[in-house]
Structure 1
Amino acid sequence: MLQDKQLEARVDRAVDYFMQGYGCCQSVVAAFADMYGLDEKLALKIAAGFGGGVGRMRMMCGAVSGIVMLVGLEEGQTEGADREGKSHCYKIVQQLLEESKQQNGSIICAEILGLNGQEKAVNSYVASERTAEYYKSRPCVAKVESAARIFAEYLEKKQSEG
């Protein structure tokens, strides 16, 4: 559906970041960061804590958190009392997260991974080692691609309406 080759390249870039070992949120945010004046390192740092469903607590999917961060960069209000601006941003977040939920079945990391409370081990904060088996057993790369595509398509639609 993407017409814009630059936006499609950003989707590919998000997947590449993930395959290099970055977290889901980092991958999605870093792929678009330069559009908002963020350098790569800062984008990776800002998004780092959202991995594993926020600090590996398996809450909201990191890729989805990336969508939220990017919508804030694209649509976020900068005046504290701007209720209309906040409402607009929240509306876009809800629309894009609903799209993600429709595509992926959930926006909750544990549900996407099929964990349902099973992964409450000691040192649950320890990041998983990125091995070939990890990449085979996890749907995360597809969720990163989905999130990046959802945001890219949002930008494309906004440009065409603009």
Structure 2
Amino acid sequence: MNIDFLKIDTNDIKMNLVNLKQLVFEVTDACNLNCKYCGYGEFYEGYDPRKREGLSFKKAQNIIEYLAKLWKDNIETSLSQPFTLSFYGGEPLISMELIKEIIRFTESLDITCKKIHYSMTTNGMLLKKHMDFLAAKQFNLLVSLDGNEKNHSYRVDHRGNNSHKQVIDNIKLLQQ
């Protein structure tokens, strides 16, 4: 039985990284909401509590430097592929200074062989505070919203308040 198709060599890995379409950084596991259905929430028996840990800038820097070198060394292959740098959490907007630092660093590398886009998954609660930066960098945003106010009622802040109205208000502001 020939199982050569299972062999993966260093070149295969490098070419997959050269053609990587998206890198997602979990910048923090902290969250400004206390959603009842969250994997870190009360509906899960023996749930894994949040440790309020975050990604270090150094770790993000090392990964981006490594990818940038691969892209530049393989420019003929990497040129045709756009790349999205994404941010996730917990709630990533809690770590906005780290996100800005990562973006400043990425842009300082002058990676001309890739068109770099930015995206984020957010609960929408902190959009108002950061929307100018997000708009300036043309972020693609995925905002979590669980339907109408009643359906959204499991998404509460740490005082137990429904977050629906604030998320809707922030989305409306962002659309202006």
Fold match by TM threshold 0.5: no
TM range (shorter): under 0.3
The structure that has the greater radius of gyration is 2
Structure showing the higher strand proportion among its residues: 2
Compare relative contact order (CA 8 Å, sep 6+) and give the higher one, 1 or 2.
Answer: 1
